[in-house]
Chain A
C-alpha cells in the first residue's frame, strides 16, 4: 500500500566520501533538500515570446541536523579526518531514502525511493552546545548531481540500553578542553560556532558541469561563549595617545573536548589563533532573568572537528 505520509521513521540519510559507501547517520533530526534550476530567459528582436529558457547552473542543497551521540560527526563522514584546509577539496556523497510509513525501521521497507547526490560538497557547519537540550551538529552540502533510485540504507544504530546516548550539558570535558581565558573560570551556559565555506563554482569552456567548487579562503569561523554573569566583564578600552603604541588583542588556541556518558572522549574541536572580537553584557532586567556575558571570538581558516573513535 502506498504511503500516506513521510515521517521521521520512514526516512533516513547517509553521508560518505564520494566513491565510497555512505554511512547511515545516527541521531539525525531533520533533512531538507532544495533543488534550484536557475532558469534564465532569453528574448530576441522580432518576437515577443521567450526565445529560449536556458538552464543556468542547477544546484541541490541538502541540510542535515543531528544530535551528537558519540557517533561520527557529519563532518567526519563527509570529508574524513583533517582540518577544513586539508579537506577543502574532498568530495562527498549524500543518500536520502524514504521507505514505508508502516515499518518501524527503514531497512524493513519493501519499496523505497532514494536520492543520491554524488559528488556533493560540504558547504557549512554549525554546532550548538547549550545547558538546555541536546548538543547538535548541522551540516549543509551543495552540489550539481542528484540521481533518483530505489536503493535502501541500513538502519541507524540504536541508543544504549544502560546509559545516556545523546550528549548534553554534562558532556563538555572541561578538564580536557582549553577554554579561552575570559570564560575559563565562568559558568558557561552556551557554546556555539559555525563556519560557512562559501563555496564558489569553477567552470571551463567546453563543459557545462563545474569542474570544482572551491572554499573561499580566508574562511571566518565565529565562536561564541555565553557565560552567566556574576560580575561585569573585565575588559577595558584604553586607547593610548602616544606614538608607536596601539591596542593589541592577543590570540589564543581553543580546544573543546566532549565525552560520552561513560567518560570516553568522543569529539574534539580545535581552533588556532582565536581573537576576542566582542563582549556583550545582556539581561538582568526587571523581568527577573539572569544577566549574561557573551564572548565572541573569530578564527580564520584554522578549525578542525575531530571524531575520536
Chain B
C-alpha cells in the first residue's frame, strides 16, 4: 500500500555518503528559471524556455555526539573551492519505523556548493546547525543506499544531544568576564555561477562557481554582565591631536571548542558593536551582546 503521507520518520538524508544524525527540518526548492518570449503579431507566447534549473536544499539539525558538525572540517581556502558535495534524500514507507526499512525512494543531488552555514548555541535548548546547499544536478536514484542503512540508532542510556554544557572553551578577546549565554555564528558564501556560451545548462563542475568575497561571518556573543571593570570592552576617546587613534583593538581571532569534537574558528574578526541592555524595572538581568564581523576566516577544525 502506498504512503498516505511523509513525516519525519520516513525521510532521511546522507551528506557525502554519511548519514546525517539529528536532522529536524528539511526543505528542497527547485527553480526551473523559466522565461517567456512574446512576439509581434500574436497574443500567443512565442516560446517558454528554461535557463539553468537550480535546486536549493536547506536543513536544520541538532548537533550531537554522533555527528557534531555536518559542515566539513577543512581550511577556509579548501572550503571555498569545494563544489562537489553530494546529498541523498531517502523517502521510506510511512508505516515503517525506519526510513531504511523496505525499499526507499532516493533522490540524489550532486556537485553541490554550500551557500550558507549557521550555528546557534544557547543555554536553553539544543545546539543547532543549519546548512543551505545549492546545485544544478538533481537525479532520481543515483544514491549509495548502503549509507541509509547505517543511520544512527536510538541513543540509549547516555545523552548525545549537545546542550549548554558541551562547549568546553572559547576565545573572544574583547569579551569581559561575564557568563556566556548565547552564541550565533552565520556565514554566507554567496555562490555565483559563471554562465558560458554553447552550454544551454550550466555545467555542474566546480570550476564554474565562485563565492562572493569577502565571505563575511557574523558572530554574536551574549553574556550576562556581572559588574566587571571591562564592562562592554569598548572604551575610546581621541586626544584631539593630529594622527591620534582611538586605541580600539582591531583584528581578533575567535574560537569556540565543543566537548570531544571540533572547534568553530572565525579569524580576522572586527568587533563592530556592543549592546548593553536589560536590568530594567521588570527585574531582568543586564546582558551585553558583542557583534563581530569576520572576513574570509570561517572554518571547522579538529572535528570527529
Contact = CB atoms under 8 A, between A and B. Distances in A.
B299 to A, nearest CB: 21
Contact of A43 (B8, B11, B90, B170): B8
A46 B90 contact: yes
Interface stretch (A26-34, A51-59, A223-231): A51-59
A239 interface: no
Interface stretch (B46-54, B129-137, B175-183, B206-214): B175-183
A217 B285 CA distance: 10
Contacts of B181: 203-205
Contacts of B285: 202, 214
A49 interface: yes
B148 interface: yes
Contact of A208 (B64, B163, B224): B163
Main secondary structure of the interface of A (DSSP, over half): strand
A47 B154 contact: yes
A117 to B, nearest CB: 21
Contacts of A51: 21-22, 152, 154-155, 160-161
Contact of B281 (A42, A44, A218): A218
A212 to B, nearest CB: 9
B179 A211 contact: yes
A205 B22 contact: no
Contact of B24 (A45, A48, A217): A45
A216 interface: yes
A42 B22 contact: yes
A205 B159 contact: no
A147 interface: no
A174 to B, nearest CB: 36
Nearest to A219: B283
Contacts of A206: 164-165, 167-170, 180
B283 A52 contact: no
Given A45-B12, A45-B13, A46-B19, A204 B180 contact: yes
A46 B13 contact: yes
A46 B12 contact: yes
Interface residues of A, number: 26
Interface in A188-221: 202-208, 211, 214, 216-218
Interface in B58-81: 62, 64
Contact of B126 (A46, A48, A54): A54
Nearest to A43: B8
Interface residues of B, number: 51
A232 interface: no
Contact of A205 (B9, B64, B164): B164
Interface in B1-41: 8-13, 19-24, 26
Contacts of B24: 44-45
Given A44-B23, A47-B9, A205-B167, A55 B179 contact: no
B9 A55 contact: no
A54 B163 contact: yes
A203 B98 contact: no
B98 A48 contact: yes
B36 to A, nearest CB: 37
B26 to A, nearest CB: 6
Contacts of B100: 46
Interface of B: 8-13, 19-24, 26, 62, 64, 90, 92, 96-100, 121, 123-124, 126, 148, 151-155, 159-161, 163-165, 167-170, 179-183, 224, 281, 283, 285
Q: Which 3 A-B pairs have the closest CB atoms?
A: A46-B12, A48-B9, A204-B179
25 contacts: A42-B126, A44-B21, A44-B22, A45-B8, A46-B19, A46-B90, A46-B100, A47-B99, A47-B153, A47-B154, A48-B97, A48-B98, A51-B21, A51-B155, A52-B161, A54-B161, A55-B159, A203-B123, A203-B164, A205-B167, A205-B179, A206-B165, A206-B169, A217-B283, A218-B283
Interface of A: 42-55, 202-208, 211, 214, 216-218
Given A204-B181, A208-B164, 7 more contacts: A42-B126, A44-B22, A45-B9, A46-B19, A54-B159, A54-B163, A205-B167
